[in-house]
Structure 1
Amino acid sequence: MNSPVYVLGTGLSHNGSAVLLKDGRVCVGIEKERLNRVKHDGGNDNLAIQYCLDAEGIQLKDISLVVQCANFDIPDRNQYKGKRLFTEAPDLKIVDISHHLAHAYSAVGTCSFSECAVMVIDGCGSPLDQFLKLHPEQKTYINLEILNEVQMVCEKDSFYHFDGQKLIPLIKDFSKMAEKSGGLFSLPTTQHSIGGFYASVSHYVFGDMDDVGKLMGLAPFGKSGVYDFEAFKFKSGNLFVNEDWKNQFTNPSKGYEYFKNNFDYYANVAKWAQEQVEKAVLKCIQNRLEKFPHKNLCYSGGVALNAVANAKLQDSKIVENIYFEPAAADNGLALGCAFYGWLEYLKMPKVPHDGSTCFGKTYTNAEIEAAYNKEENRKYNSKKFSNVNDLADYCAEKLNQGKTIAWFQSGSEFGPRSLGRRSILAHPGIEGMKDHINLDIKFREDFRPFAPAVLKEKVNEYFLHGRNSPYMILVDKTKSEHLEKLKNVTHRDDSARVQTVEESWNSKFAKLLTAFYKQSGIPVLLNTSLNKKGMPIVETPEEALDLFEITALDILVMENYVIEK
């Protein structure tokens, strides 16, 4: 029997990760932050790679190929912010690819299309000199003006065609880096990128770079039309940022208290910025598709996590089918590296992906019991269910009574969203539940919304557009007749970042939703990530128990074990 072919992808910029393919299919993948508990961490990749090797039960010598990607440099095989594991495998082949190529392959490797267009939009990709060193044959796709630029320029958006095996670049746009002036909007992004613009406004509004997605959550509290100037302009088909918008904003946040005292002002700024991004994304993608039409589109890069802009893009009908890559930000680079290795470098045929984005390892009963049996956990009550339907019925009953449940099942999600493997779950309609979770469990800002997880076959009944949204990456509107019973998962403007739950790769979560529907008459649960503010999503049983201890969570379910306070 032939040995399996393993390809390892590793991403070393911020949001570092590692992904292992076995014969063209993802067998394991993890973000570094889940292991060392430092949010958005990157750099040295030993932890994430070792996790993948251990989960699959293999060694470096079993790997056929490694593909790697870092933002601003080409990592040395033996040293990168510390000694690397590859020093022990000097014969192992290591290939380097550029930032946007990794984003693009992460999408085409996991999409269902046999052929498609691919759009990548983010804040900052590979510098031009590094890009040309890696891909000298692509010089012809780059504007002469960019090639002659004396300052450092980096990728800001890229458009490709995927023919089922390889990516062909069609349009590559680069931008100068934003000037490091120390001013209000000085950030390590490109000057003319949508991602850079959004990050700088987020920094202005919140005073930190912890979670750019907060801006999208704040925007519905603002009013349209307060500001009548444009952030972006198009020239010769390329996107540029109008620098003079920065002169309009002179009151940056000085911390959370200051933000709260000036809430309406910052909400209006967020609303303006969100609307600017929506227009820019649509215009940019429309421009590319007019030149190179295709009915299928893959979309990746950090900007592709903007669920509101994504819904507008889908509603625009500029293409028939869009696949939004669930790990669209830099955590997905390792996934793209691995698929590049399989498809482009090894020239192996694409293997259909099952739609799952849960690539973590499953923890055994023994590992769960070892964590739970520590002295400090004796104060909790516990029981073990032998039947998954009985477990679902019991948990559904508790949720219907208003209990909050930490739900820890199987391999963890890869990407920023908890989808029913590492989730906090609650009733979507009980009065005060949203505020209780924000205040006493997540310890985060009270304006931030929670997502509804809904049985896929019921989405049309409860939400206006009935979008298929398995990765919680599109917004919809809650239907008016269901606003009261879904008050904890419906945002200020009646929007909801829906997750449609599929039994094929999320069966235990689907069973729980079905049981809750039978008991409550509502096929929807509040679903948010199993963490608190500033903390990466929980990975291990020990971490789940620690979070359970320090928050107001009522119940922790790990596989078939139920632990209650």
Structure 2
Amino acid sequence: MILGLTDGHNSSACLIDNTNNLKYAVGEERFTRKKNQRGAPINSINYIINSINNNTENTDTDKKPEIITVGGMFRKGKRLKELKEIQNKLNIPMLYFNHHLCHASLYKLSNFKNKECLIITMDGGGDGFSSTVSIGSNKGIEPIAQSDLIDSMGDFYASITEVLGFKPMEDEGKVMSLSTYDTNLNIDLNNLKIIEYNKKIKTINNYLGVVGFEATKALKKIFNLENININEFNGKILISKYAQKTLESEVLKLINEFSNETGIKNIVFSGGVAQNVQLNKKIMENYNLFVPPFMGDEGLSVGASLLFNKKFVDLKTTYLGYDIKNENIINIVEKIKLNENQYKIKYIEEKEIPETIGNLLISNKIICICRNKMEFGARALGNRSILALPKKENAKKINKMLNRDSFMPFAPTMLYDYVEEYFKNPHYNPFMTTLFDVKKEYINKIDGVVHNDDTTRAQTLKKEFNPTYYNIIDYVNGVVNVPFVLNTSFNLHGEPIVCNEQDALKSFKSVGDALLLGNYLFMKI
């Protein structure tokens, strides 16, 4: 068994078992409750080790990892000491792998097993690089191009995020969302060249020559010279449109160049920049695209394990984390009944959940879900979700509860069976990594989950992926003829997605009308 870990931005741990399955994967932030937690993922490792030790189906040889693989190579001081302490405790070998090579190795989760693919990795930076291009096949990874830390498209977008008053490495989605709005400012930024792909030397060129806070300062001066007020909403829109257009234009130039050169049309896109679903949508127009569901730095733990494993892994689910068990909830329920009088609590049989939760949704209740295994990666996919009918009134209600920016869109989960009916570019999207164009005749029907550019980042759900969740939506559709629910992550603004029973109850105090915790339904009185 392989224990993978990463201790940088959004640290995590995972386990590939002896049958070549990705058995566990969990982000450290879910345990510490600190967004994008850095440092050794002690809690995540302990959860995985305890889980395999307590699994009665495991033999003695299945109860201890044989090697530790680490995503990212360069560290010193306290970080290095923490990792060595983990190794000494487990008393097994430990191997370090390059940051971008770990991002790239996630191609082994794709369906390109017997085909060549172009692997593009792109982020703010790691182990000396900010982007790489490689050819992936069943023979391994062949690097063919790289960009260093200065020439970072990811840092450019993060610096724009900071210029606009948002939090870099966290709020880039706000820039992407703003880029779709119209502005009344008549300022042309088309001739402004800050960063671009250079075909001659096959790398990104950052003409600022600096990154991080220095890049943010330089960008502020540039936009000031263009007479743009970065504090006004129209100014934010204009700069966001410029940033998104630049990102799409230059990344597509890079992909087109290497696709034409190699003749490869299968693309794997990994790293933090691959969270930009508008860019992913542009790539999909001409290529077969796979984006790993944990494309950010939390995925480095899995990437490192795959580099050592050297095998393709059939990724069926991201339900790989903390498991909510009904026996753990019983004591919580008894304590609440004794000391509080704010909830009605009822146990619901599994077969009754679709109708019970479906009827609450149909009556426009906001439902929090925390049950079974927690998702790994940035997206809640039905096990740590807030659900509602996909109406604009419900979107506004949830925005108010979460103190969320109104210009940010909500995403839905929909039954895969209806994808061709509702969308212009239908495809299977179980991990919410791409965008769809909604057909005009259906926009008003699901207006709570359609962005102002008529797109939606839908999870398309097949029954085998999550049967009870599927049946909830199917029940709703049978009554109101809408095969969708609004699905946003179950967390308070600025916090990680909920992990355990206590997190769920704490967050439920501020959001939602009902909470399904395991098989226990909590209704606010």
1:248 and 2:217 matched = no
Q: Which moved more, 1:496-505 or 1:17-26?
A: 496-505
Shift of 1:415: 0.6
Count of aligned residue pairs for this structure pair: 497
Cα distance change on mapping 1:77 and 1:15 into 2, 3 Å: closer
Shift of 1:204: 0.6
1:470 and 2:430 matched = yes
Contact 2:381 2:431 in 1 (8 A): yes
- Give the Cα separation in 1 of the matches to 2:461 and 2:343: 31
What is the match of residue 307 of structure 2?
340
Q: Percent identity?
A: 27
Which of the residues 328, 331, 338 maps onto 2:298? 331
1:524 and 2:484 matched = yes
Shift of 1:484: 1.4
1:198 and 2:163 matched = no
- Give the Cα separation in 1 of the matches to 2:223 and 2:399: 29
Shift of 1:378: 4.3
Cα deviation code 1:28-66 (max 9, x no counterpart): 110000010000012122111111111222799721111
Shift of 1:75: 8.3
1:19 and 2:22 matched = no
Structure 2 letter corresponding to 1:119 = I
What is the match of residue 294 of structure 1?
264
1:157-172 correspondence runs (5 A)? 157-171=131-145
Cα deviation code 1:257-299 (max 9, x no counterpart): x97x711110111111111111121111222222223232221
- Give the Cα separation in 2 of the matches to 1:213 and 1:71: 28
What is the match of residue 89 of structure 2?
88
Contact 1:110 1:355 in 2 (8 A): no
1:536 and 2:496 matched = yes
- Give the Cα separation in 1 of the matches to 2:404 and 2:220: 28
Question: Does the residue aligned with 1:412 lie in a helix, a strand or coil?
Answer: strand
Question: Does the residue aligned with 1:312 lie in a helix, a strand or coil?
Answer: helix
Shift of 1:71: 6.2
- Give the Cα separation in 1 of the matches to 2:12 and 2:472: 30
The two structures, once aligned, show a CA RMSD in angstroms of: 2.4
- Give the Cα separation in 1 of the matches to 2:16 and 2:225: 48
What is the match of residue 32 of structure 2?
36
Structure 2 letter corresponding to 1:19 = C
What is the match of residue 446 of structure 2?
486
Cα distance change on mapping 1:546 and 1:225 into 2, 3 Å: same
1:54 and 2:50 matched = yes
- Give the Cα separation in 1 of the matches to 2:194 and 2:272: 19
1:424-503 correspondence runs (5 A)? 424-429=386-391, 431-440=392-401, 442-503=402-463
- Give the Cα separation in 2 of the matches to 1:434 and 1:298: 33
Structure 2: runs of 5+ lacking an equivalent: 55-59, 209-217
- Give the Cα separation in 2 of the matches to 1:33 and 1:325: 20
Cα distance change on mapping 1:365 and 1:61 into 2, 3 Å: closer
- Give the Cα separation in 2 of the matches to 1:49 and 1:111: 29
Contact 1:77 1:94 in 2 (8 A): no
1:358-397 correspondence runs (5 A)? 358-375=319-336, 377-388=340-351, 390-397=352-359
Contact 1:61 1:89 in 2 (8 A): no
Cα distance change on mapping 1:520 and 1:377 into 2, 3 Å: farther
What is the match of residue 238 of structure 1?
203
Structure 1 letter corresponding to 2:121 = V
Cα deviation code 1:488-512 (max 9, x no counterpart): 1011121211111122222221111
- Give the Cα separation in 2 of the matches to 1:311 and 1:225: 27
What is the match of residue 3 of structure 1?
none
Shift of 1:74: 6.6
- Give the Cα separation in 1 of the matches to 2:389 and 2:304: 40
Contact 1:74 1:96 in 2 (8 A): no
Cα distance change on mapping 1:520 and 1:332 into 2, 3 Å: same
Contact 2:110 2:290 in 1 (8 A): no
Shift of 1:242: 3.3
- Give the Cα separation in 2 of the matches to 1:277 and 1:382: 49
Contact 1:116 1:298 in 2 (8 A): no
Question: Does the residue aligned with 1:425 lie in a helix, a strand or coil?
Answer: strand
Normalising by structure 1, report the TM-score.
0.83
Cα distance change on mapping 1:419 and 1:95 into 2, 3 Å: same
Structure 1 letter corresponding to 2:85 = R
